[in-house]
Structure 1
Amino acid sequence: MSHIALNDATMHYDDQGPSDGLPVVLVHGHPFNRTLWGPVAKVLAAAGYRVIAPDLRGYGDSSVTPGKVFLSDFADDIAVLLDHLGVERAVFGGVSMGGQITMEFQRRYPQRVRALVLSDTSAPAETEEGKEFRNRLADRLLAEGMDGYAGEVIDKMLAAYNVTALPDVAAHVLGMMRATDPRGAAAALRGRAERPDYRDTLAAVETPVLIVVGVDDVYTPVSNAEDIHRLIPHATLTVIERAGHLPGVEQPEQFNAALLDFLSTQVASRA
């Protein structure tokens, strides 16, 4: 693990695999950290890719920015990290909120994106109901902490049957959620509530795109992935069986097979 100083925060990150490998940036969702990508990063690095996985500000080992943190702030942080590492262009992948940060990076820095991997995410701006929900949840997390919330949502983060079928995975996901600083989680929730609509951004993407979704995702169901696919007809859509909102940890073999095939056949051969 390494870290860099941003203008007003400190970001911790992992940088694995050969330094001359094709860079792949993996962005975790809420309320997790970079270890969410452990099963994916290990396989990609072994296959010769350079895997960069940051802890977003407010999550994991990175410092907390209270108040409100926008998706654009997260995207700008990643751009600073890549400048620090001397990486001009990379494949960008994200799950859930991380997928929306990936879309925001595409919106702000399209020239730096070699390909996109969008897992279990959605493109439209937040609804008014959704804004109210996220702000109420932010208030709750600040008042009560993460433990109660983590227990309530574990069977939505993972497919309910995987909570019992995959106890080590469930323990890891619960551990990440419970370890997250409520101030960081609340700030991200408030910023995410004000996110823009990314549908026009996605419709203009010309680089390769992989869309992945767990077949039993209740937060961003298969229909959301299909909506994104309609926006990007040249994209590849892969539905992961026996998985919910986090297929990369629920079914890493399926997820990794889809990702490695995408990288080798659609990305690595392109200039």
Structure 2
Amino acid sequence: MADSTETTAASTSAPPPEPKRSWGDEVDDEEVEESKPGAELNVDGLAIDENKKINKFLDEPEDSNIKAVTLGDTPYTSASTFEDLNLSPELLKGLYVDMKFQKPSKIQAISLPMILTPPYKNLIAQAHNGSGKTTCFVLGMLSRVDPNLKAPQALCICPTRELAIQNLEVLQKMGKHTGITSECAVPMDSTNYIPINKRPPVTAQIVIGTPGTIKRWMSAKKLSVSCMKILVFDEADHMLAEVISFC
């Protein structure tokens, strides 16, 4: 009787669910049904929820331990104000008026002088959520771009579509007065999908997107990296963990 029960349960059980996708753009272009070309992702309609803003909480606890480790003898001095960073008036206006910042957080005070001061070097920054890391690399990208050169000059790679859109939203708000252009390289849904061979070459000066979409745009010669000045990996530890898990 026990064997019969087990056999019945096995025959009526539902098939195991498909594994959940963790990457933002695993779906290839070929898997999306072609539709009439539509508008690109409407990032202009996005807005930061003022009730969820974390800017006022950027001051970290006194016992927070953030250290700068440098290679070589290049001196860096922490910034107590954003004016110490020699930012353009347009960027300062974006920080104070649009982002409503008052002063740099600890991670910003330490890392921004290293990001914005020549000679530029590779940097790994690690801090808890809400500490202001996004401001660090967004300011770095906005500061390195030549507004007169209409070509991609800064590239930010994110592990998920949602994070890429969020970072682009912050960048557009912070750089609102600079005139710098940006584009989001993430998978489109079937409504807004445009076949890659019909896409014009990217002329936006800052591109933020997910690994698969960026790779396809580069392979199709739609995204040039010949003028790139700065490369950012947001949540690089998560992307590395995903790569290791796939091996």
Q: What is the TM-score when the length of structure 1 is the normalising length?
A: 0.25
Greater share of residues in strand: 1
Greater share of residues in helix: 1
Based on CA coordinates, which of the two structures has the bigger radius of gyration?
2
